[in-house]
Amino acid sequence: MTRYPIPAGRTTAEIEVKKSRFIATAAPVFSVEEAKAFIKDVKKEYADAGHNVPAFLVGYGSTVTKHCNDDGEPSGTAGRPMLAVLEGSGLGDIAVVVTRYWGGTKLGTGGLVRAYGDAVKAVLEALPRAEKVPTHTTMVAIPYTHLERVRLLVAEHLGLIQDEEFAADITLTIQFMQERFEDFQLALNELSHGSLAAEIIESDDNTIFPLSSQ
């Protein structure tokens, strides 16, 4: 499976050019239908704006589906420069809508191209990254005396502790990239002298896994 960066979540950034406001909203999308739904949602949110210009990449590399339009701006001045920035970003599975509120001064063709491209650059700078990776969600019950050592072990194997339930033992719910889980299981077995093992309760091939945890 090809690993590539994607947006970790919906993000917004704004720039101003000659009193025109350009609000860029980006989000992860994993199908053309999701991209269209996101675009429709943003257009509804900013229904009073003069333009809501969309661009998206679904997939990555040679398997990408891409689309843009100018939403009433002069041809080639909005959607295409936005798409060019997305294509140069190294990201996949991303949609962006740039909303424009006119400030009373015409920007000209070159000004529009720069403004729409710069708006996308601004949101990409603010955008947290993730990867779409196969994961296992697991559970393990451990004695209190093992808690700190198991937490360190989880971090060492790039796991994310999603829940800690304290009772007679501590039950941890942990998410791992599938490729990391077996090594964690072996390390946990060694740490506990064979008394502890994590149980897989759910698997997902398309998890948004934050890059910050790696």
Q: Yes or no: say if 69 and 54 are a contact pair by the CB < 8 Å rule.
A: yes
CA–CA distance, 73 with 78 (Å, rounded to integer) = 7
Number of H helices, E strands in the chain: 5, 10
pLDDT band at 214 (very low <50, low <70, confident <90, very high): very low
pLDDT (tens digit, 9 = 90+) per residue, 26-60?
A: 999 999 999 999 999 999 999 999 999 999 999 99
**Mean pLDDT confidence for 79-100:** 97
CB atoms within 10 A of CB 209: 23
CA–CA distance, 43 with 37 (Å, rounded to integer) = 10
Say what the pLDDT of residue 213 is: 43
Question: What single letter denotes the amino acid at residue 21?
Answer: R
pTM over 0.85: no
Domain 5-127: CATH architecture, name and number where available: 2-Layer Sandwich (3.30)
Residue boundaries of the structural domains of the chain: 5-127, 131-213
Pick the CATH number of 131-213 from 3.40.50.1970, 2.60.40.10, 3.40.50.300, 3.30.70.240: 3.30.70.240
In sequence order, what are the residues at sequence separation of 6 or more whose Cβ sits closer than 8 angstroms to the Cβ of residue 186? none
